[in-house]
Chain A
Amino acid sequence: MQLTLWTYEGPPHIGAMRVATAMRGLHYVLHAPQGDTYADLLFTMIERRDARPPVTYTTFQARDLGADTAAIFQDAVAEAYARFQPEAMIVGASCTAELIQDDPGGLARALDLPIPVIPLELPAYQKKENWGASETLYRLVRALAGGTPSPRDGRRPLCNILGPTALGFRHRDDLVEITKIVAALGIDVNLVAPLGATPADLGRLGAADFNIVLYPEIARAAGAHLQKIFGQPMIETVPIGVQATIRFVEEVAAAARVDPAPVLGGAPSRLPWYSRSVDSTYLTDKRVFIFGDATHALAAARIAATELGFKVVGLGTYTREFAREVRAEAALHGIEATITDDYLDVEAAIQAAGPELVLGTQMERHIAKRLGLPCAVISAPIHVQDFPARHSPQMGFEGANVLFDTWVHPLMMGLEEHLLGMFREDSEFHGAAAPSHLPRHGVDVVPPEAEAPSATMAPTDPILLTWASDAEKELKKIPFFVRGKARANTERFARDRALPLITVETLYDAKAHFGR
């Protein structure tokens, strides 16, 4: 028994739902008690899908327990087939149905439906969501994959893209970017799966020359199987970050025997220049803590260290299947990886590492908020705001642009931070001042000098300070971004010496006194 407040992953049948919901023409009959339909709203609310997931739940109740549940399951399969007319079905049990030991596969087989019905064994008390997605895709591919590559004479190279699912973090937009790259290389996409594929589509997986595995957590098993049965090479480099994308393009080009130059020529990403521009100097050695699924955490660590110049002070994942890779990457940064699915451990690790920026999941966002640290989201689990309306990939060269913006925004921009350090006590720049892009009083921004009264008096101020008009004029010659400080320092100087009238002399006396 494990005491759990927050879970990074759902049970494995949620993974199966992510695959089923991604596809078309596939229906999932899930033997599950009343209540398990809560999972629908992950798709309809968080991902804002406009249709119910293609899942029929048996929703058995206490009174059904006993011999009845098997019949309920069979009825549900028969009705789902009659109503939705799918090309294929997957059937399985959720955690409770696993305990009552009806055999979904056998029961469905007994119905002898005229379509493939693929049973799923998803051990709910051992495995989790990503494993469930991976296993489901693997079972589908094993059951349905067909076709053979035709000879290459003259035709364009052909690839499959494996891994994008429903409820995947930026899968929709990653796919757009990768498809663009593949097209620019002169390669045709035979099939994307599971997102948008039908069971019949899976029947021509074998026609491709090679497979691109975008999300190893989900598609490595299916890719390995296709490699075995069709001899299709598998590209597993995850194209998140500029260097990873370049490596990815080179590998894809090599597998397709095409020239990578059309994609790599010029400056395909703005990240390298943005990162080299002087404003980014302040990013050097910013301490960053990274946590997420293995794919995104590993990519983020490399980008942070080598493309943004951060110092990685913490790295971890909840994906135990990839613990070895994450440990190895952490060792490169001279730190020990945090491999855990307990958010309290992650919180402790963040506190111990003392980062200036946290890159993580929805959970780390909340931890960072509690600790008062800047944070950006790099991995599932995520909430509704991370299924944005705008194009927002993580992968490819556009993804690198998105990452630069997303990670740097929570930090203060360089000039802003510099000014804050210089003029920490000034009224314009003190820590609690509203952001500079927000107009005061809801009107257009007026330069503070124009609206500031020339006489200022704090409630407890015994002296009414007046600026002589020539002193006021002199003050305006000082560059605006230090003017506030000069005014404050001069007034402090005058107040300390009980000088009611500030003259040009007072101004320069004060400057001399404060030394800058």
Chain B
Amino acid sequence: MNAHAPLQTRPIGPAPQTGCDIRQERGQRAVFCGLTGIVWLHRKIQDAFFLVVGSRTCAHLIQSAAGVMIFAEPRFATAILDERDLAGLVDANEELDRVVGRLIERRPDIRLLFLVGSCPSEVIKLDLSRAAQRLTRSFHPGVRVLSYSGSGIETTFTQGEDACLAALVPEMPRADETAAPSLLVVGALADVVEDQFARLFADLGIADVAFLPARRAGDLPVLGANTRYLLAQPFLAETARALEARGALRIAAPFPLGSEGTTSWLAAAAEAFGIDRETVARVTAPGRARAAIALDLYRERLSAKRMFFFPDSQLELPLARFLSREMGAELIEVGTPYLHRQHHAPELALLPAGTQVVEGQNLDAQMDRCRAAKPDLTICGLGLANPLEAEGLATKWSIELLFTPIQGYDQAGDLAELFARPLKRRARLEV
């Protein structure tokens, strides 16, 4: 199992160095489990296959989350446990071997197979990491088999990506002790965004830049004591821990959302590589200028709008920071499923003093607060969006923020537009 730090052991109350009011809440949660991460991860790692070991519920969830994608020869599937598997563990392992054998026979193009743990497989303590070792031996050298857990009991939505990338870290080749410092950008980004960032790093003069995950399973970047890593996504606690266990050092930065976030993110990397501020200013100037033009289009629509975030992906803090600082929005409440104090410190420092940050969820209580506050825009999951719309609240469904390219200068306008569109639509409709 992935040992996520239990919430209740961490201090409650205002975090150091921030003026945010951080509160924790427990109760019913309306969030996705980590299995959902498969839906975008499988598109990023082009020769990997994700096999969930779980129940019909897991298969149904992925089907619902994947929407129409399920039909384009997807590289994910579910090995559905049935009664016979629950009867005894030995049997379940044999069954798993049989299913994997059949799968690899059918899909000879697969190079990397993830066995993805679910709630049922975790509860019956089916040891998928041992199964992965066993299967790696039997399919050597054609297919590498790894395991991670995307179960709801351990992971929330994007934490599935975290668990997946953390499973990749031990596989990364060891860098030479004497290697020159290299930069590792961590977190799945849309290919177009990744390419933009690669160009910007090259222009800054950072020669050795790699991305995790790589687009192909065989292209894992090297990792060593000279590796500095930069998180592109805010939900990568386990991956960061695994990288640091292998000697890599994190570059602290806000996340690259919006023009300001992108600049700070690039500048933090530049600083770590000893690149002067003038170079950063010069290299980022065209992007900043384009983002400024793009953001101007939406500022009027978003300025002074009161926003309420339900917890979903851990992107909530950087998004709230972008909306408040660059678009002039007001923040009523910023919910997040999990708050990594260190990784989010630069974001917390940029949020307006007094921002109400809520970690965890008690769904009904939070909905009551939302109704009472009557926000101009509520950012929430698809289970809540239509019901809140029906109650008269404008909503922005949050899962789109994971499937749409939103990072970097040239997506800043698109990001603002995602929030402006529901408001524009609401203003437009006369029926």
Interface residues of A (CB under 8 A from B): 1-7, 9-11, 13-14, 33-42, 44-45, 48-52, 56-65, 76, 79, 83, 94-96, 99-100, 123-126, 128, 363, 366, 370, 383
Stretch at the interface among B58-66, B205-213, B292-300: B58-66
Contacts of B78 on A, CB cut-off 8 Å?
A: 3-5
Is B383 an interface residue when CB atoms closer than 8 A count as contact? yes
Determine how close the nearest CB of chain A comes to the CB of B104; give it in whole angstroms. 11
B61: chain A residues at CB < 8 Å are 35-36, 38
Q: Are A1 and B92 in contact (CB under 8 A)?
A: yes
Q: How far is the CB of A290 from chain B (nearest CB, A)?
A: 20
Contact of A11 (CB < 8 Å), options: B60, B74, B384: B60
Asked if B386 is an interface residue, CB under 8 A from chain A, the answer is yes
How far in angstroms is the closest Cβ of chain A from B154?
5
CA of A33 to CA of B364, assembled, Å:
17
Is B103 engaged at the interface, CB distance under 8 Å to the other chain?
Answer: yes
A100 touches B382 (CB 8 A): no
Interchain Cβ contacts under 8 Å between A and B, 8 examples: A5-B77, A10-B56, A33-B119, A37-B30, A42-B64, A50-B389, A95-B55, A128-B56
Q: How long is the Cα–Cα vector from A498 to B382 in the complex, in angstroms?
A: 68
Q: A7-B56, A58-B28 are in contact. Are A65 and B63 (CB under 8 A)?
A: no
Partner of A51, one of B1, B76, B123, B390: B390
Indicate whether B245 reaches chain A with its CB closer than 8 angstroms. no
Tell which of A1, A5, A13 touches B95, judged by Cβ atoms closer than 8 Å.
A1
Do residues A124 and B55 form an inter-chain contact, with CB atoms below 8 A?
Answer: yes
Nearest-CB residue, chain A, relative to B30: A37
A10-B57, A62-B153 given; name 18 further pairs at CB < 8 Å: A7-B59, A11-B55, A13-B57, A33-B153, A34-B33, A35-B34, A35-B35, A35-B119, A38-B32, A38-B33, A38-B36, A39-B64, A50-B386, A56-B28, A57-B29, A59-B29, A125-B82, A125-B86
Decide if B77 touches A4 in the complex (CB within 8 Å).
yes
Roughly how many angstroms separate A317 CA and B343 CA in the complex, as a whole number?
51
B31–A35 CB distance below 8 A? yes
Interface size of B by CB at 8 A reads 64
For A35, list chain B residues within 8 Å (CB).
31-35, 61, 119, 151-152, 156
Q: Are A2 and B123 touching (Cβ within 8 A)?
A: no
CB nearest neighbor in A for B102: A3
Q: Tell me which of A13, A34, A45, A383 has the highest count of chain B C-beta atoms within 10 A of its own C-beta.
A: A34
Interface centre among B56, B92, B381 (most CB of A within 10 A): B56
Q: Which of B34, B55, B386 contacts A49 (CB 8 A)?
A: B386
Instruction: Encode contact with A along B137-174: 1 for CB under 8 Å, 0 otherwise.
Output: 00000000000000111101000000000000000000
Q: Which residues of B contact A59 (CB under 8 A)?
A: 28-31, 152
- CB-contact partner of A37 in B29, B96, B385, under 8 A: B29
Interface residues of B in 272-321 (CB under 8 A from A): none
Let me know if A125 and B152 touch, CB within 8 A.
no
In the complex, A495 Cα to B76 Cα: how many Å? 57
Of A14, A50, A62, A64, most buried by chain B (CB within 10 Å of CB) is: A62
- A44 in contact with B387 (CB, 8 Å): yes
CB distance from B132 to the nearest CB of A (A): 16
Q: Which of A3, A10, A39, A64 has the most CB of B within 10 A?
A: A3
Q: Is B79 interfacial (CB 8 A cutoff)?
A: yes
Which B residues lie within 8 Å of A95 (CB)?
55-57, 119-120
Chain A residues with CB below 8 A from B103, complex form:
3
Please determine whether A36 and B152 come into contact, CB atoms closer than 8 angstroms. yes
> Contact: A11 with B81, CB < 8 Å?
no
Q: How far is the CB of B2 from chain A (nearest CB, A)?
A: 9
Q: Return chain A residues, CB-CB under 8 Å to B194.
A: none
Cβ A5 vs Cβ B70 within 8 A: yes
Q: Do A36 and B386 contact each other (CB < 8 Å), given the known contacts A3-B103, A6-B63?
A: no
B contact residues around A58 at 8 Å (CB): 28
Q: Which chain A residues lie closer than 8 Å to B251 at the CB level?
A: none
Chain B residues whose CB sits within 8 angstroms of the CB of A83 once the complex forms: 364
Task: Indicate whether B242 reaches chain A with its CB closer than 8 angstroms.
Answer: no
| B21 interface residue (CB < 8 Å to A) | no
In the assembled complex, the CB of B28 is this many whole angstroms from the nearest CB of chain A, namely: 5
Q: Say whether A124 contacts B57, CB under 8 Å.
A: yes
Over the window 119-139 of chain B, the binary record of Cβ atoms lying under 8 Å from chain A Cβ atoms (1 yes, 0 no) is 110111000000000000000
Q: How far is the CA of A3 from the CA of B107 in the complex (A)?
A: 13
Interface core residue of A41, A50, A83 (most chain B CB under 10 Å)? A41
Interface core residue of A39, A51, A65, A95 (most chain B CB under 10 Å):
A95
Answer yes or no: B83 CB below 8 A from chain A CBs: yes
A1 B152 Cβ-Cβ under 8 A: no
